[in-house]
A and B are shown apart, each in its own frame.
Chain A
């Protein structure tokens, strides 16, 4: 399939670009296979360089022969292009629309198979302009991650049972399971868990040896099916005489309803050592609608103060944030304060489950608050764990056709991390920009990291060979400096965020990013960096002088002693 066929008008002159915070600029619009580019005539610099896959929706309208295209991006930005000439405008718009279908609704496109169409995306064509120092595809290998706690415990082992993705298509080839459970048992358990997602280790709390496990729902159905191996597996994680908690991220009601479809939850009679807690974290279209409403409210400049708060409330976004954070805190509390291990699942175990397991780790484990540690967390708990990024992030807040599988699950997670970061501004090695960058790349990227829905798909796509890893780019010193929090001081404690509504504000950095100038806040950030940099500089100078002085004085002493 040739992109050239899709582009009827590759170039239009005298196009006027309107975008947030910049004066309108006139230039030449170019449409390529992957980008929309506008360069102003003055000095031939690119004013706009937009990935097609970043476009969420477009509107067009005409006044006389002047056409206007309004482009709504997945990062919530809205830009406007005034294009002289009706035909040119229509051609550009229709090309963008085709790309939109191609890149955003890959699953519904009949002409191409899902995987084939992914290979048309930009990451497969992107050639990096930087030297790769460390290949991000190999930065966070499961074996290395396992080593981090294998020194502390011998109760766990790596299993290769899913090597061919045969046992669980959404799991990675390597998973961590209790040592006492053999692969044969794992295969049996997989048949009892939704999507074959048998319980695996998510986090090991070194302080007291308690663990977080995650899985899919048990397939008990209406007749209360049970699975001895499943019971044995999760009991194998308990210390003698200890009890554990199962956190079901669905309300009891919802969990009960799934029994009719073959799903269900752990019956207390069969899991006597476990206490089940139901929370209710929303999923799917409810979240997507919440995002759509929130972004709509943020973009609405006309309403008065009161309506702003109502709309914020009506979006329910912050309610979701509170619910997710509360559940994560509860999980962390069970581990750290109760000294109890936990198993977390919802239905599939690929969405709310991962939000909770990863946030609990942010709370519990200092390493996950460092840049490398956080990258490892995303690699482990989101990518390897099979969060279907391709489906969930296909469209963003402006999409018109709502698909059941689209949901801002990952964005909610990032928002929750931001909330904790706001409450503990000195405990994270990364800053807000790091989270914003991850949000952007999850939805549209030149890197292959967030392509595909699970490891199995990524293997088939040969992403490691054919695309660049986001981490290869991020972990260059020049990039890292943009994402490093100058206030960071390693904090080895568990951090307990407040989940009171008063403590959970709107994440302005992402939702009001294009609606309010951040000039003064950026200046403040810069000032903060300067204060700290200057301090470090002085520190270095003082240390050098001290050393010099010490050397001179020992010389002195030596001259004196003979």
Chain B
């Protein structure tokens, strides 16, 4: 297992490369990755270091899509398997599941060949009463022609979540067709006599937009709308916030105050709460008030995507399943033109376009999982792996900025789908506490109405995920999955035993002699919770007691390397370098990475236990 110790990082994961001051040992190169891994390379010669630096900078910033990993990645699947992978998640199926088309909503072909809006998909659901004339008129009155379309339809009461970009209202402009469009949305929900219009921006930002001929809906011009601002900050604020939080995560042995202050000053959790609040507001409007909601921000592809998908997740248990969650991302993010390429910097571009928009959504899901541990079919690992692959460019799903671009690039013919890969390995991503008939998996998730600030917690499993020492050293999820797996085996064995017993009893009744095989010894051997010897080592507990290790009384003792500094820990822990293995194309991200270390088997583990199954490593 030695080779695992060599770190492998996908070039597309590289976020920043920093040359640090030369030391006696060589030239340090600090590489920060988009999946929050930090790697320091020490290169003996400064010249070599510079060469590496230059080539890494070039490699980390490809200029053409064809340079990306997914175009060379080959998981040894044949053409048919690849094609099947791409149809695993089918949006038209999803709209059918919602109950569409129906009396109020229809599939529109107005955007055929992306004629009206090039960042929208071709298949769009609009109110039946919205004619092509209204749609086109409305689209001309919206930023980047992103006119109001359906995002989610709530079967139970006909209320819907629609999305668009901001109206080009300026200080006084209005557009009849756009007003008619909102009327049409209201009429498509006979249960309510108004529509909420949720502008997810801070009011000040929206007002500033008016000077540029953009802005927000004037309640006087649109009949029967209730207008609402929900102040989610823009991509630049979010980028800086993440940056600040990551600086805190990177601190070397920070004090508790350093950490809490830094976390607070980053504002990150405040932003998460703002997104959640917006999602909760919309979910309540739809499920409790039965009102339809039109959501927009500026262009309607960042905050709008976050908020629509959080609301859908709260409303519909389907999105809390493995497949449903893939559908949700496919729908609200991929198909509606979330600019993956710009936001996650897959190709070299404007750094000001980069922002952790979907990261925030993924974190919102995690925050919900913490509060509703039985409500989700998938586990934390699923979220982490999705986040990883949004940046990895190993699969084609998240390439480009729109459906149009992806079709032009023939992504489906040239790359593989992540969803098929995740689905194939779904056993790794299951939440053992999920049960389809559990009360938490039914209907809407109800969050408390009182604002609970302490509800939102720092997600060390994501932002410090490569600091294995910081994570809980035993995983309840893995433990329970192992139990469930054994339970399944036991169920099978029980059935077989009952059958055999019945047979023998019958045979004995007939006084016939049958030789039977010796029964197998018990498979049950306990689920070893052995601690990964590498991950579970003492850390720097002595703080500034620098003299302590050097004057260690037990000289020559193997264990005398008492103080592992953070740096040592980083380079010596093979788990830190666990990453996608390029040669085999096999993901080695799993927390259950095959053990290289010795694990102490539990006492009764001698017999025929399948150690790979029963043992889970808690690294």
Footprint of B on A, CB under 8 Å? 242-244, 275, 277, 279, 298, 301, 303-310, 312-313, 316, 318-319, 321-322, 326-327, 329-330, 332-333, 337-340, 422-427, 487, 489-493, 495-496, 498-506, 508, 512, 515-517, 520-521, 523-524, 527-528, 531-532, 534-535, 538-539, 541-543, 545-546, 548-550, 552-553, 555-556, 559-560
Contacts and interface: CB of A to CB of B under 8 A. Distances in A.
A506 B124 CA distance: 46
Interface string B406-418: 0000000000000
Given A301-B451, A305-B456, A516-B454, A528 B470 contact: no
Contacts of A303: 453
Contacts, number: 253
Contacts of B513: 556, 559-560
Closest 4 pairs between A and B when the two form their complex, measured CB to CB: A243-B553, A501-B259, A524-B373, A313-B260
Residue from the set B371, B476, B554 with the largest chain A CB neighbour count within 10 Å: B554
Nearest to B460: A502
Contacts of A499: 539, 541
Contacts of A496: 536-539
B501 A549 contact: yes
A238 B609 CA distance: 44
Contact of B553 (A308, A338, A552): A338
Given A307-B453, A329-B538, 6 more contacts: A339-B559, A500-B464, A500-B469, A523-B439, A549-B516, A552-B516
A312 B260 contact: yes
B210 interface: no
A480 to B, nearest CB: 20
16 contacts: A279-B543, A309-B260, A312-B260, A322-B256, A326-B541, A333-B562, A423-B474, A491-B530, A498-B469, A517-B448, A523-B374, A523-B440, A531-B433, A539-B522, A541-B494, A560-B513
A422 B494 contact: no
A552 B486 contact: no
Contact of B267 (A306, A332, A502, A552): A306
Contacts of B470: 498, 500, 502-503
Interface stretch (B184-192, B311-319, B330-338, B544-552): B544-552
Contact of A549 (B263, B474, B504, B554): B504
Contacts of A340: 553-554
Contact of B255 (A309, A501, A539): A501
A560 B516 CA distance: 12
Give the interface size bracket for B toward A: 35 or more
A308 B453 contact: yes
A535 B516 CA distance: 27
Interface stretch (B61-69, B358-366, B388-396, B477-485): B477-485
A329 B539 contact: yes
Contact of B460 (A275, A301, A491, A503): A503
A305 B270 contact: yes
A275 B519 contact: no
B465 to A, nearest CB: 11
Contact of B542 (A277, A321, A560): A277
A524 B433 contact: yes
A496 B257 CA distance: 23
A305 B453 contact: yes
Residue from the set A242, A312, A327, A524 with the largest chain B CB neighbour count within 10 Å: A524
The B interface, classified by DSSP as helix, strand, loop or mixed, is loop
A50 to B, nearest CB: 25
Contacts of A312: 260
Contacts of B538: 329, 332-333, 337, 496
Nearest to B547: A275
A520 B374 contact: yes
Contact of B514 (A309, A425, A516, A556): A556
B260 A318 contact: yes
Given A531-B483, A535-B486, A546 B519 contact: yes
A22 to B, nearest CB: 15
Residue from the set B440, B454, B486, B552 with the largest chain A CB neighbour count within 10 Å: B454
B270 to A, nearest CB: 4
Given A502-B470, A505-B457, A313 B261 contact: yes
Contacts of A555: 508
B528 A542 contact: no
B472 A422 contact: yes
Contact of A500 (B261, B263, B439, B467): B467
A527 B497 contact: no
A493 B508 contact: no
A308 B264 CA distance: 9
B490 A542 contact: yes
Contacts of B371: 520
Contacts of B487: 531, 534-535, 538
B258 interface: yes
B11 to A, nearest CB: 28
Contacts of B529: 426-427, 489, 491
B449 to A, nearest CB: 11
Contact of B473 (A275, A492, A495, A545): A495
Contact of B264 (A279, A313, A489, A527): A313
Given A538-B490, A549-B519, A553-B516, A298 B454 contact: yes
A319 B373 contact: no
B448 A516 contact: yes
Given A338-B557, A556-B515, A528 B476 contact: yes
Nearest to A503: B470
B257 A313 contact: yes
Nearest to A517: B448
Interface in B487-544: 487, 490-491, 493-494, 497-498, 500-501, 504-505, 508, 513-516, 518-520, 522, 524, 526-531, 536-539, 541-543
A489 B491 contact: no
B602 interface: yes
Given A305-B270, A329-B539, A517-B448, A539 B497 contact: no
Interface string B558-594: 0110100000000000000000000000000000000
Contacts of B467: 500, 502
A298 to B, nearest CB: 7
B208 interface: no
B254 A501 contact: yes
B494 A491 contact: no
B484 A531 contact: yes
Interface string B267-279: 1011001000000
Contacts of B552: 338
A536 B600 CA distance: 23
B24 interface: no
A502 B480 contact: no
Contacts of A524: 373-374, 433
Contacts of B259: 501-502
B425 interface: no
B112 interface: no
Interface in B324-353: none
A333 to B, nearest CB: 5
A498 B254 CA distance: 13
Contacts of A500: 253-254, 464, 467, 469-470, 539
B424 interface: no
Contacts of A426: 474, 476, 479, 527, 529, 618
Nearest to A337: B559
Contacts of A318: 256, 260
A403 B70 CA distance: 67
B602 A501 contact: no
Nearest to A317: B256
B356 interface: no
B249 A502 contact: yes
Nearest to A326: B541
A499 B256 CA distance: 10
Contacts of B474: 423-427
Given A338-B553, A531-B484, A495 B531 contact: yes
Given A313-B260, A508-B454, A549 B500 contact: yes
